[in-house]
Amino acid sequence: MISVNELAFNLIEEILDYEEDYEEEYKINIETLDNGATIIDCGVNVPGGYNAGILYTQVCMGGLADVDVYIDTIKDVPLTFIKESTDHPALACLGCQKAGWQIKVNDYFAIGSGPARALALKPKKTYELLDYEDDAEYAVITLESDKLPNEKVIEYIARECDVEPEDVYALIAPTASIVGSVQISGRIIEMALYKMAELGYDVKKVLSAVGRCPIAPVLEDNLKAMGATNDSLLYYGSVYLVVDGYSEELNAIASCEASDYGKPFYEIFRNADYDFYKIDPKLFAPAHVAINDVRSGVTKVLGKLNADVLLQSYQLD
């Protein structure tokens, strides 16, 4: 059976072996805590960059995806995009990349993603759905936070994953950073798989997936950045899925089905008194989806791209 933690560790092993070279090249910082844990700062106290963003996204997906960035235009505005592909969509996206672990230790808070979740079974129902449980000596986790974790945080993660603290490898980036923007746009396939599961579709029937999404400019604070990065997915994220059997519930997969659709996410969030639960859950979906059913040979196209809302959200001058 595939070990997503072992695959993710393979991605960072060379970086750890040639630490000084990669710190300079990727604009990251690597440190070892007193308990032996490895902390890779991808944007808290360092600039980070697109190479670090690609690494973060690949690690977040358990080493089961090819990821790259490129430039394209929207209404003649040059913007960076992420593209990714995986032949293990459910495991890479829901089993690893899903932001399924809220980590709270004293005054530290982070959203935990990555393959370490498969060791800690966070949340357990996801792995029951996937019929998957990892067995690895390393725990590799990605943390969305504007603070680096200390020994207490790592000890909590290690206990939950049943490994020693010295075998925990954590990559950290804030939302308002280059890596933060890259890795959130890199969740475009995950967003589609999550919505499919919410609609009651068996995500194990998704055979392969390809996604592309614009990468939001870095904005002035984490709240504004959260809005812009979500808009990248909701208004201009595209996914191509290959499935073994199409079901009619998938007709509702795109974000335009939501009552809140049509405004920048920051505005929607503010109008909801900053309460996610007051937002129409149909909004949390990709903008544009094509689904190829290998059983029938039919490809269904759903949703639409919305450049106007996206460019408004990006605060372009």
255: pLDDT confidence band, cut at 50, 70 and 90?
very high
Strand-strand pairing, 168-173 and 38-41? parallel
Report the pLDDT value the prediction gives residue 74, as an integer from 0 to 100.
98
Q: Count CB neighbours of 232 within 10 A.
A: 26
Structurally, how many domains does the chain consist of? Answer: 1
pLDDT in tens, 25-46: 999 999 999 999 999 999 999 9
Q: Please report, for the domain that includes residue 45, its CATH number.
A: 3.30.1030.10
pLDDT higher than threshold 80 for residue 256: yes
Report the pLDDT value the prediction gives residue 220, as an integer from 0 to 100.
84
How far apart are the C-alpha atoms of 74 and 231, rounded to whole Å?
Answer: 14
Average pLDDT over residues 203-226: 94
Report the pLDDT value the prediction gives residue 276, as an integer from 0 to 100.
87
Looking at every residue in the chain, the average pLDDT score rounds to: 97
Cα of 100 vs its chain's centroid, Å: 10
Average pLDDT over residues 65-80: 98
pLDDT higher than threshold 80 for residue 317: no
Task: Let me know if 9 is exposed, middle or buried by CB neighbors in 10 A (0-12, 13-18, 19+).
Answer: buried
How far apart are the C-alpha atoms of 236 and 137, rounded to whole Å?
Answer: 39
Residue 261: CB partners within 8 Å, gap ≥ 6? 234, 255, 283
Q: 111 is in which domain, residue-wise?
A: 4-313
Report the pLDDT value the prediction gives residue 245, as an integer from 0 to 100.
98
DSSP 302: E
pTM for this model (two decimals): 0.96
213: pLDDT confidence band, cut at 50, 70 and 90?
very high
Report the pLDDT value the prediction gives residue 1, as an integer from 0 to 100.
85
What percentage of the chain carries pLDDT values higher than 70?
A: 100
Report the pLDDT value the prediction gives residue 221, as an integer from 0 to 100.
85
pLDDT in tens, 73-129: 999 999 999 999 999 999 999 999 999 999 999 999 999 999 999 999 999 999 999
